[in-house]
Amino acid sequence: MSQVNRRRFLKGSLATVGAGGVGLGAGLSAGGASAKPPDPQQQAQAVLADELATRTPFDGAHQSGILTPPQNQATVVALDSIAPNAQQLFEALQTLSGAARGFTQGEPVPIQEIDDPAPDSGILGAYDAPDALTVTIAFGASLFDGRYGLAKLKPRHLYPMPNFPNDDIDPTRSGGDVLVQVAANHRDTVVHTVRELLRLVAGRLTPRWTLDGFTSAQRGPTPRSSKRNLFAFRDGTGNPDVTDAALMNRLIWIQPNSGEPAWATGGTYQVVRTIRMHVEFWDRVGLLEQENMIGRYRVSGAPLGGTYEFEDPDYPSDPHGKRIPLTAHMRLANPRTPATADQRILRRGFNYHRGIDEAGDLDQGLIFIAYNQDINRQFDTIQRRLAPTEPMTDYITPVGGGYFFAPRGARGEPDWVGSGLSAV
């Protein structure tokens, strides 16, 4: 397979230049009498000693960015393939993984001929520090249409996101052949990664829509406390325990012999919903009504009638909703019954702010991201329970997103996320 990975090519050919300190960059700097150019490796060490040092593996049985605790900043980019054939599509996907592997692990910025475009935008300086970066790659149902002969490999439960009641989905902000979720602790790391990845796959994968997100700061009261969405309520309190491997195998990861194509094993379905939150509306609602809509106290996140966030709401002792209304979001989303236990999803969303709309209202909301083993059994079932009933629907409008499949992790160089597709 021929490579279009310019970055990796340059990295290999120029590594000695950087290490030796006698490359073109060094020569130019030394045009003055004094300074030796800074050694990128030394700079890297300095950087790695600080808050940017956290490194998340790119390779592994499962992709990172799924069970990984959400970082502070994120961008999702949906791409459509314009590759003329499957081979070139695979090359682009391999490039995506190769570059992501490098960025997530940290690497010196390569130096090239001064009269050539720089291989890296350089916005992170001399060293692309890892900064807890994760790049999670997923595929939409449209990738498995007739263009590349991939139809028979389509994951069994992958289908386009349906139009739920109250949805107002904008086609230009939804769908996509490939979805790349880039997340890190600092915005510049995310921006850099998105920029470099798009540059590398240009001509093969083209951006369809994108959205920037962030999480709230960890403001406690405990390190485990869930962060807040832009309705000010804690988000993800009811998530299943990601450290429970058996539970993850039941709820998140595709298992062998589950009826899915073999290449899908170890992957998961990713639901992305851009949910506009009408925050001005919300802010005009009494606190008590807000809490009744959610079923939790705003400050503590405790279920109504409780005292701490992770307390069991004990629905059986409240069959008529005197404590937590029967239409409360938390109650409908997760009724906590044996029959609904296998419907649970892993929520890993980010808040977004994208300016104002034509009416002068803030365009803020949630990049709802959830992972599940079977969208129909899990997310869709929950959504069908929520959509017609919960009062909160008056304050939100889903406007974009899509359903995707995030394959297993890559197995190290030269493997790539989605390599199972090339086994046709």
Partner 1 sequence: MDSHSSLPPLSRRPLPGRKWQLAALAALLAAVVLIGAALNPAGLLHGSKPFSVRSVQPDPLGTRLSKVYGTSTPARVYGTEIGDLEDLGENTQGQMISDLTPLPASAFIAPVHAYESYSETWLGHVQSDNVGLGAALSAGNVGAAKAAWMRTWADYLHLGAVYLEGPVATLNQEIDGSPGGLPGGTSSPQFTGLHRIEMGLWEGQSPRSLVRFSKQLSVNVAQLQRVVRTVSIPPLDYATRSHEILEDAQRDLMSGMDVPWSGEGVLGMAAGINATDEVLKTLSSILAPRDNVLGQAQGELSILQGAVNRVLREHHGQWPTLDQLTMSQHELLNGTLAGALGALEELPGALETVNIEEIPSIPATHK
336 binds partner 1 (CB under 8 A): no
User: How many angstroms separate the CA atoms of 8 and 3, rounded?
Assistant: 9
**Residue with smaller CB distance to partner 1, 76 or 169:** 169
Q: Phi then psi for 280, rounded to 5 degrees?
A: -65, -40
State which of residues 39, 80, 188, 311 lies at the interface with partner 1 (CB under 8 A): 311
299 binds partner 1 (CB under 8 A): no
Closest contact distance (angstroms) between CB of 36 and partner 1 is 54
129 contacts 188 by C-beta, under 8 angstroms = no
One-letter amino acid identity for 352? Y
3-state secondary structure 136-152: EEEEEHHHHCCCCCCHH
- Which region, judged by CB under 8 A, interacts with partner 1, from 53-61, 315-323, 334-342, 374-382? 315-323
User: How big is the site for partner 1, counted in residues (CB under 8 A)?
Assistant: 29
225 binds partner 1 (CB under 8 A): no
Nearest of 72, 81, 102 to residue 12 by alpha carbon: 102
State which of residues 141, 304, 375, 410 lies at the interface with partner 1 (CB under 8 A): 304
Max CA-CA distance within the chain? 82
User: How many angstroms separate the CA atoms of 364 and 205, rounded?
Assistant: 28
**Residue with smaller CB distance to partner 1, 152 or 284:** 284
Can you list the positions of beta strands (E) in 192-255?
205-214
Residue 165 token pair = 């009641």
State which of residues 1, 123, 288, 424 lies at the interface with partner 1 (CB under 8 A): 288
**Residue with smaller CB distance to partner 1, 166 or 381:** 166
Closest contact distance (angstroms) between CB of 360 and partner 1 is 3
314 binds partner 1 (CB under 8 A): yes
State which of residues 39, 188, 318, 342 lies at the interface with partner 1 (CB under 8 A): 318
* Cβ neighbours around 69 below 10 Å, total: 11
- DSSP-based three-state secondary structure for 242: coil
Site track 166-205 with partner 1 (rule: CB under 8 A), x = hit: xxx-------------------------------------
159 binds partner 1 (CB under 8 A): no
Instruction: Give, as one character, the DSSP assignment of residue 54.
Output: -
Give the residue carrying structure tokens 């403001």. Answer: 219
- Which region, judged by CB under 8 A, interacts with partner 1, from 238-246, 300-308, 405-413, 415-423? 300-308
- Which region, judged by CB under 8 A, interacts with partner 1, from 22-30, 62-70, 118-126, 312-320? 312-320
* Cβ neighbours around 299 below 10 Å, total: 12
Q: Is 37 exposed, middle or buried (0-12, 13-18, 19+ CB in 10 A)?
A: middle
388 binds partner 1 (CB under 8 A): no
Closest contact distance (angstroms) between CB of 323 and partner 1 is 5
Residue 303 token pair = 């279920």
- For binding to partner 1 (CB under 8 A), which residues are involved? 163-168, 278, 280-281, 284, 286, 288, 303-306, 311-314, 317-318, 322-323, 357-361
